[in-house]
A and B are shown apart, each in its own frame.
Chain A
Amino acid sequence: MLIDWFTVGAQAVNFIILVWLLKRYLYKPILDAVDARERRIAVELADADAKKAEAQRERDEFQHRNEEFDRQRAALIGRATDEANTERQRLLEEARSAANALSLKRQETLRNDAEQLNQAILRRTQQEVFAIARKALSDLAGASLEQRMVEVFAQKLGAIDAKVKQGLAQGLAASPEPALIRSVFDLPAEQRATIQQALNQTFSADVKVTFETAPDLVSGIELTTNGQKLAWSIADYLESLETRVGELLKAKAKPESKVEPESTTAAEPGGEVAPKATAKATSRPKEPQLESKSQ
């Protein structure tokens, strides 16, 4: 018989005991260990995921801040650049306007200087002209300037045209006051008599005259009566001279240093200057003449 029933029973019991033993010593502890490890791994993975998410969040935040920072920096730089440009423009404008003002002031000063110089030259020229004329007359002709001027005045008076003469005569007749003779120099009695005589001859009447000295007078001698004026003048000489000096100043305004000696030379008194002035005077279109003006 192949089956021994006692052995069958014993083996069945053995098997049940083995099941219990293995459950106790093998399956339970091993499965528990596996479960514990899996739980631990799951926890660690979850932890790692959380950390990863945190890291990702922080990285995003950092990136965001970085971008924000870059944007702000760019904006600041842009603003600073704009401000610097504006400031530069403003400073340039200021400098330009300051330069313009300075330039205008300088031009003004130059013009004033030129004007003053002109005036000075005019005055000096007048003095020089009279001085030269006086000296030339006394040296060459043995006559004083005053005397010569009075002679010329008398001569010219004699040669005035009829229309002017009539106007003056009417003026003299109408005026209740005596006619006024003004001169740069104090006229001596002899010459006053010459003028009185010339007037009397010219207007064929006894003309009453008062004499007056006016040092600033441009003209040599002038006759004023009842709004009528008759003058022998060197104003044209002076005007012409002024014009030429003005042209010279304009032409050489920039190199100021050159203007100065030129004008000095022109204004310099002395024997050498006289012929030069004479030469210039010859080129002038106008002769000194008696003018009649209605005031």
Chain B
Amino acid sequence: MRLSPDDIIFWQSGFIKLNGTIVFTWALMAVLAVGSKLVTRRLSMDLQRSRWQNLLEIIVTGIEKQIEDVGLAEPRTYIGFLGTLFLFVALATLCTVIPGYEPPTGSLSTTAALALSVLIAVPYFGIEQQGLRGYLKSYVEPTFIMLPFNIISELSRTLALAVRLFGNMMSGAMIIAILLTITPFLFPIVMSALGLLTGMVQAYIFSILAAVYIAAATSGRKSKAEPALDATK
């Protein structure tokens, strides 16, 4: 039983290897980048515009609006990071309808890499907005005693991000695989549809949590939204 696309090894030379996770990620990256390039090559500034441009505009402005709603005053600063998180995870889920495809987010390595990116991005944006002193000060608020708890919180939520996404994606693929062996016809389709929904929800949760963490770091105090969102899971 294969738990992760990491196990699909195409090529290996010692420590360096080319596994399914990396290959599928590249494929997704290619689709996203080439698709964007193709659509934005002929952008219309007029009121008349193509359907694809419309679609991308809806997606981009929707993401921008969501970021703004979380509480980040300048969404364009963060849309590159947060938007890409969402689009990558969402596309990875969507593509599960393609036979033979394994979502790279079903690999704990990928989700850990994304979580680590968030772990680094949060202090990066925090320091960028408040300066190093201001950012570090947020760890000892309201009192100095909170410092270890804040650090633990920082690490644990990174772990939670990684494991949550991995667990959901892996379990989805796993359940479909198991069901296929038991009831090969209708039921896997239903579960596949459910898996799409779960995947989209996870993409939303992942990027929104990242936005909330960044918002908390940039505004200088801890957000109350985090435990609430964690509770929904």
Q: Which residues of A are at the interface with B, using a C-beta cutoff of 8 A?
A: 2-12, 14-23, 25-27, 29-34, 36-37, 40-41
Contacts and interface: CB of A to CB of B under 8 A. Distances in A.
A40 B46 CA distance: 8
B168 to A, nearest CB: 15
Interface band, chain B: 35 or more
Contact of B80 (A9, A22, A32): A22
Contacts of B32: 18, 21-22, 26
B76 A9 contact: no
A7 B12 CA distance: 12
Q: Is the interface of A mostly helix, strand, loop or mixed?
A: helix
B113 interface: yes
Nearest to B109: A7
B22 A22 contact: no
Given A15-B88, A40-B45, A30 B56 contact: yes
Contacts of B144: none
20 contacts: A2-B108, A3-B108, A3-B112, A4-B6, A7-B110, A8-B109, A8-B116, A12-B116, A14-B113, A15-B84, A17-B29, A18-B29, A22-B83, A23-B80, A23-B84, A29-B40, A31-B60, A31-B79, A33-B49, A34-B60
Given A15-B114, A22-B36, 5 more contacts: A4-B17, A6-B15, A7-B107, A18-B88, A34-B60
A14 B26 contact: yes
Interface string B139-182: 00000000000000000000000000010000000000000000
Q: 6 shortest A-B CB distances, which residue pairs?
A: A11-B113, A7-B109, A26-B36, A29-B40, A25-B36, A12-B113
Nearest to B20: A7
A19 B80 contact: yes
B40 A2 contact: no
Interface string B200-230: 0000000000000000000000000000000
Contact of A11 (B47, B53, B114): B114
B45 A33 contact: yes
A22 B66 CA distance: 18
B4 A2 contact: yes
Q: Is the interface of B mostly helix, strand, loop or mixed?
A: helix
B43 A18 contact: no
Contacts of B107: 4, 7, 11
A25 B79 contact: no
Contacts of A33: 40, 43-45, 49, 53, 57
Contacts of A14: 22, 25-26, 29, 113
A201 B107 CA distance: 194
Given A12-B117, A19-B84, A34-B57, A25 B22 contact: no
Interface in B111-142: 112-114, 116-117
Interface in B11-57: 15-17, 19, 21-22, 25-26, 29, 32-33, 36-37, 40, 43-47, 49, 53, 56-57
Contacts of B103: none
